[in-house]
Homo-oligomer: A and B are copies of this chain.
Amino acid sequence: MLEQVDLSKKMDKDEYEKMSEELGIHLGELQREAWEMGIPIIVVFEGWHASGMAEIINRFLMPLNPMGFELYTTGKTCIHEEKKPLIWRFWTKIPKKGGIAIFDRSWYRRAIIEHFSKDIPEKEFSDCLNGLTYFERQLADDGYLIIKFFLHISQEKQQKRLEDIRGRGVPLFLAEEEEEDYIREYQRLMPLIEKVLERSDISHAPWTIVEANDLNFATVKVMVTFIRAVEEGISREEEQRKRKTEHARECTIPALCPSILEKTDLDRSLAKSEYEEKKKEYQERLSSLQYQLFMQRRPVVIVFEGWDASGKGGCIRRLAQALNPRLYRVVPVGVPSDIELAHHYMWRFYKEIPEAGHIAIFDRSWYGRVLVERAENLCEEQQWKRAYREINEFEEILANYGTIMIKFWMHIDKDEQLRRFKKRENTPYKKWKITEDDWKNRDKWGLYKDAANEMLQKTSTTYAPWTIVEGNNKKYARIKVLRTVVETLEEKFNED
């Protein structure tokens, strides 16, 4: 992509000043329009060292309203970032609806650096690029505009600028000393950059190569490209909104759902003495396993989903009792806040993933989209249908990073739920646990069962399998949860 570029393009000062002023006004207007329509925009800048990136970005920022954008300079990772998958630091920085996030170096920088300096195996490099592709596709599916620039200069220009920068005593990389090594490696870097650009040049997030030997020309090209992309994005969005008002034909016969849950034997139970004995045993094993996890820097994600009153809280408490609060966190997932609703659905969950060596226990989770949001029509059909893939990709990224994934579906039958609801209503300090919503959800038992069955089928993966817990008997359920966690951890340690 870079070889054919004509780097001789130029623009003189007067023409630049005239054009950039006009384009700037246009840009400001488009920013307000996208803001009002709630279209989120991501702008990525990559490029050679000394390609003038800081100057071009600064000029691009001038006509924008600072209220609506955020600039992120991607430098060295800090200790928190090192304990999370690469893409975490970018997921957590995506803009909300109507906002603009500008990345001065991006997720590609890491891929290039790692590959260049550490000579990682091709497979790992591919995994990494795949992860980046998931990220961009998931955002684009959700209506994010992604505009990517690569600032291209010639080797001679680069040498001249580097000398000039040194001459002026400007610190070269600010926070990026690690790059010093290969700053002069133009020729060796070229094929690698070509490969990265080619493999990540996808229709919903294409690259624009910017001829940056001349800063005026480069700035104008960035502005023009941005304006055209945002204009296109706005009209695409307008189209889609129009289409949504035309109703799709409704299906006349119901779908055939998988029936995984039918096979569950809910009669299993456990005597009190056996319960106490096993609980003690598993809690002790768990208690020492957590320190092994910590020392091996492996993160663990434990997910609890299931019917209302199926005993999630009780199981979580039996796990938590055995753990050091410095190493685990219970993450209760409820109704999303306004700010969470203004981001991609997965954003709030990326923010909660555990550090390497820590355990996150989710009391309900990202599966809400294919359960409650589906059953209650809280999202569009295409959103929850898309979510199976989004979820699998999310869990794949966690698993590739070394995360041990354990997922429980707490299963009870309708009669047992009724008994528990009534008991809650009759116990003063448990009454707050039961609300109108619980009774309402109960009326939709069939809808929820279909959703659960489909979820269990579509999101049981090799890297993140589901465990169905027969929950009518609380003691049996708690021991099954404890045992599954302990045995999964021990297994994973033996694998390594």
Residues of A in contact with B (beta carbons under 8 Å apart): 25, 28-29, 32, 54, 57-58, 61-62, 65-67, 71, 73, 76, 78-80, 104, 168-171, 174, 288, 291, 294-295, 317, 320-321, 323-327, 329-332, 334, 337-339, 363, 429, 432
Contacts and interface: CB of A to CB of B under 8 A. Distances in A.
B291 A66 contact: no
B334 A67 contact: yes
Given A29-B429, A54-B324, A104-B326, 14 more contacts: A28-B429, A32-B432, A58-B323, A62-B317, A62-B320, A66-B332, A67-B334, A79-B79, A169-B291, A171-B291, A171-B294, A174-B294, A174-B324, A337-B339
Nearest to A70: B329
A73 B334 CA distance: 24
A327 B73 CA distance: 9
Contacts of A334: 67
Contacts of A171: 291, 294-295
20 contacts: A25-B429, A29-B429, A54-B324, A58-B323, A58-B324, A61-B325, A62-B320, A62-B321, A66-B332, A67-B334, A73-B325, A76-B79, A79-B79, A104-B326, A170-B291, A171-B291, A171-B295, A174-B324, A174-B326, A174-B327
A63 to B, nearest CB: 9
Contacts of A324: 54, 58, 174
User: How many copies are assembled?
Assistant: 2
Contacts of A170: 291
Nearest to A174: B326
Contacts of A29: 429
Contacts of A61: 320, 325
A61 B324 CA distance: 11
Contacts of A432: 32
A321 B291 contact: no
Contacts of A62: 317, 320-321
Contacts of A363: 66
Nearest to A295: B171
A86 to B, nearest CB: 17
Contacts of A174: 294, 324, 326-327
A334 B169 CA distance: 38
Given A78-B79, A294-B171, A429-B28, A58 B338 contact: no
B58 A325 contact: yes
Given A29-B429, A61-B320, A337-B339, A325 B66 contact: no
A339 B340 CA distance: 12
Contacts of A80: 78
For the complex of A and B, the 6 pairs showing the least CB-CB separation, nearest first, are A66-B330, A67-B332, A58-B325, A78-B79, A73-B326, A78-B78
B338 A57 contact: no
A321 B58 contact: yes
Contacts of A337: 339
A329 B57 CA distance: 13
Contacts of A331: 66
A28 B104 CA distance: 47
A337 B126 CA distance: 41
Nearest to A176: B326
Nearest to A294: B171
A14 to B, nearest CB: 16
A334 B65 CA distance: 13
A57 B325 contact: yes
A220 to B, nearest CB: 17
A429 B31 CA distance: 12
A329 B70 CA distance: 9
A174 B429 CA distance: 37
B104 A325 contact: yes
Given A32-B432, A320-B61, A429-B28, A71 B104 contact: no
A175 B494 CA distance: 26
A70 to B, nearest CB: 9
A327 B170 CA distance: 12
> Which one of A25, A66, A104, A170 has the highest number of Cβ atoms from chain B below 10 Å of its Cβ?
A66
A398 B405 CA distance: 43
A331 B68 CA distance: 10
